[in-house]
Structure 1
Amino acid sequence: MNITLNKGAFNDVTSFTEKTRRDMGASASALVIMKNNTIVHEWYSGKHHFEQGAKKVNLNSRFNVYSVRVTYVGLAIALAVYDGFLNVDDKISDYLNEYNKDILGDTTIRHLLTRCTGLRFENDNVYRAFDLGTNIEGKRPDLLAKILFKTTGKTVNEIISNRVFKPLNWSNSGWVTEGNNNLVCDIDLSKGYPALRVGSNIGDGRNLYISARELALWGNLHLNQGIFEGNQILSQEVFELATSIQSPNTLPQDLPRFGFLWWVKKREASVNYYELGSDLPGGSYQILGASGCSCTVIPKYNAVAVRMLNSLNAYEQLGFDYIKDIKMFGNLVISSLKKL
């Protein structure tokens, strides 16, 4: 891995991230910024939790990335599409037969990937909340993982571990089933104690822990469309699927667009619903998790910016504005990159 640190250019974004850590009530934060396949900035701050004896954050510290995990589900789906197991325009009723087929109607995997099914799932029941492909809803990686297993016989974890983590020797990425010394605790502001979220190793749950470096490498693998250290480890077509706009044409123009669950900036102008900063160029894509962790890929600058934090429920408890914050972060990354 190439590392050429340029601390001065990133003073503003580093200071802003440290301010965000305090404003969110987080105990830990990290930054890794890559340009031209080289780490140009790396910074760690704080401890794994606020209790006495907490470990200092370092390059091996693994943060729970929450919704960032959906891009790993998205890549697993892209691999299944590329391998011929399914098509993005397959109806989900062909795979989710536990739900009312008439209500599912013409809803496709594409609608699930781009968050515009118009459906609300509750246990084994499904309801239509709005017309198909006309509004944005929450993410359902669990349903995508279920479809993936039905078509391939493999879990998200099996596919991503066998085709990405293991071949690239990424040892600080994975779905956690038990605690270890490198895991950063969640600081849930609605509770009075730090906690670790462990779960199954299926790969759809909120227990994906990653180091800042390996999340940056994940973004860089997408940026390079499957090339890692000069080798094409996965097909370029897989990454084109995952990171290009896949939202249906029925979606109103003022709503955000998605790839395979990545937020993708269609044009220079932004709308209020976007999580991407106004200065991020068109073609940039990003994912943000509930703990404050994010990965921003900026093809125009051949750059990736990763930020790690470990606070939950900061909006409810502190009134923290996640959207305003992540937009400002993206804009500061751009201004920093321009200094190089």
Structure 2
Amino acid sequence: MPVDIFNSLDQYTEQIKNRIAASAAAVCVIKDNEIIHEWYSGNHHFHSGARKVDASSQFNVYSTRVTYVGLAAAIAINDGAIQNLDDPISKYLSIYNNDILGNTTLRHLVTRTTGLQFQGNGGVVRKFEEGTSFEGKKPEILATIIKNATGKTVAEIINERVLKPLGLTRTEWRTEGKETLVCDINDPNSYPTLRLESNEGSDRNLYITARELALWGNLHLNKGAIKGKQILPKEIFQSVSSIMTPNTLPVHLPRLGYFWWIQDKNVSNSEIGPDLPEGTYQIFGASGCSCTVIPNHKAVVVRMTNSLWTFGGKNGFDYIADIQRFGNLVEQALNEYSIVHR
């Protein structure tokens, strides 16, 4: 097995790890339902006694978690608890002003086009007309809708319908620390931290191993079928990984499924590497973690790091250029792998 084909991903990730002052990094590649490459580097933090990174290390994946919220919403729709993606969100959010929510739907919510700014104590402000511009994620609002519609939290749905059937035990919304959790590096000169919050499934405390995040992507790639068993209807995965963005959005703005970024060559500011083929979908988190699903190659590639020091352009780091560059290297490596295995 020519593992060295994927060394370019490891080497680049190591460079980025050093550049962003991360202490930990990992890469995992699944091809044709097999893990064909794994790489681990560093320690859980920079201080004395830190645990070495290995296959059991769980990284906080931050915004990557929103795809779990998205899948829970798709399950709720498939089950009939939510009628469809074009249901108005006002139907499920009684505490907000319906006149301001207006015609905003779940479609706008999962594609980040609501135009709304939610505030504490039921406050909401409209910033732009729904479906006309792009905004930050609102997984906590979708999680509230899911709970109001189903009576269950996102974590309960995902644990019951996905994690337990697949035997995934290292995907956890953590409320307390444990040895396998990788710390966040907020600044190279500060103490490392863990983000411990609610276990309901929408907070920024989802800790996962590189392998289990890759298996999450592979579940989507296989449209819910694993080892010949269909754990969820394939229609659910077809919807979450297809473009759901309303056609009112200007063509140069990102196209999303259920929070997944979908490759579209017309988009000028995508997080997805431009060399990756149409049909690729990806999610990316603040700590540098990403999951890229490439149906053309029947492959999933995961990258993990643990730094918050440079996200959002802090300290002169272009995080969009970084993840695009990584995606282009993924495409190059998979093309080389395909040539070797013709």
TM-score where L is the length of structure 1: 0.96
Checking the alignment, whether the CA contact within 8 Å between 1:6 and 1:41 is kept in structure 2 is: no
Q: Are 2:297 and 1:309 aligned?
A: no
The letter of the residue matching 1:294 is S
- Partner Cα distance (1:190, 1:289) in 2: 19
Q: Are 2:86 and 1:66 aligned?
A: no
Q: Are 2:206 and 1:200 aligned?
A: no
Count of residue pairs the alignment pairs up: 334
Q: Are 2:306 and 1:323 aligned?
A: no
2:286 aligned partner: 290
Q: Are 2:246 and 1:248 aligned?
A: yes
- Partner Cα distance (1:7, 1:56) in 2: 22
Structure 1 residues 202 and 118: CA distance shift in structure 2, 3 A: same
- Partner Cα distance (1:118, 1:191) in 2: 38
| Among candidates 107, 110, 113, match of residue 113 of structure 1 | 110
Checking the alignment, whether the CA contact within 8 Å between 1:46 and 1:56 is kept in structure 2 is: yes
Shift of 1:10: 1.0
Q: Which runs of structure 2 are paired with 1:125-274 in the superposition (5 Å)?
A: 125-189=123-187, 192-266=190-264, 269=265, 271-274=267-270
- Partner Cα distance (2:23, 2:188) in 1: 15
Q: Identify unmatched segments of 5+ residues in structure 2.
A: 338-342
Q: Are 2:65 and 1:56 aligned?
A: no
The letter of the residue matching 1:324 is A
2:39 aligned partner: 43
- Partner Cα distance (1:254, 1:318) in 2: 28
Q: Identify unmatched segments of 5+ residues in structure 1.
A: none
Checking the alignment, whether the CA contact within 8 Å between 1:279 and 1:331 is kept in structure 2 is: yes
| Among candidates 12, 28, 40, match of residue 32 of structure 1 | 28
* Per-residue deviation, residues 300-325 of structure 1 (Å, max 9, x unmatched): 11110000000003145521111000
Checking the alignment, whether the CA contact within 8 Å between 2:251 and 2:267 is kept in structure 1 is: no
- Partner Cα distance (1:119, 1:10) in 2: 42
1:335 aligned partner: 332
- Partner Cα distance (2:198, 2:112) in 1: 24
- Partner Cα distance (1:279, 1:200) in 2: 38
- Partner Cα distance (1:322, 1:276) in 2: 12
- Partner Cα distance (1:89, 1:313) in 2: 38
Partner SS for 1:45: strand
- Partner Cα distance (2:314, 2:147) in 1: 38
* Per-residue deviation, residues 71-94 of structure 1 (Å, max 9, x unmatched): 000000000011111111110111
- Partner Cα distance (1:320, 1:15) in 2: 18
Partner SS for 1:187: coil
- Partner Cα distance (1:44, 1:167) in 2: 27
Seq. identity, %: 56
Partner SS for 2:185: strand
Checking the alignment, whether the CA contact within 8 Å between 2:89 and 2:106 is kept in structure 1 is: yes
Q: Which moved more, 1:7-16 or 1:291-300?
A: 7-16
- More strand as a share of residues: 1
Shift of 1:190: 8.0
Checking the alignment, whether the CA contact within 8 Å between 1:247 and 1:257 is kept in structure 2 is: yes
The letter of the residue matching 2:216 is W
- Partner Cα distance (1:192, 1:270) in 2: 41
- Partner Cα distance (2:321, 2:300) in 1: 20
- Partner Cα distance (2:242, 2:2) in 1: 31
Partner SS for 1:44: strand
2:5 aligned partner: 9
- Partner Cα distance (2:44, 2:189) in 1: 16
Checking the alignment, whether the CA contact within 8 Å between 2:26 and 2:303 is kept in structure 1 is: yes
Shift of 1:249: 0.9
CA RMSD of aligned residues (A): 1.1
- Partner Cα distance (2:46, 2:150) in 1: 43
- Partner Cα distance (1:133, 1:191) in 2: 42
Checking the alignment, whether the CA contact within 8 Å between 1:6 and 1:40 is kept in structure 2 is: no
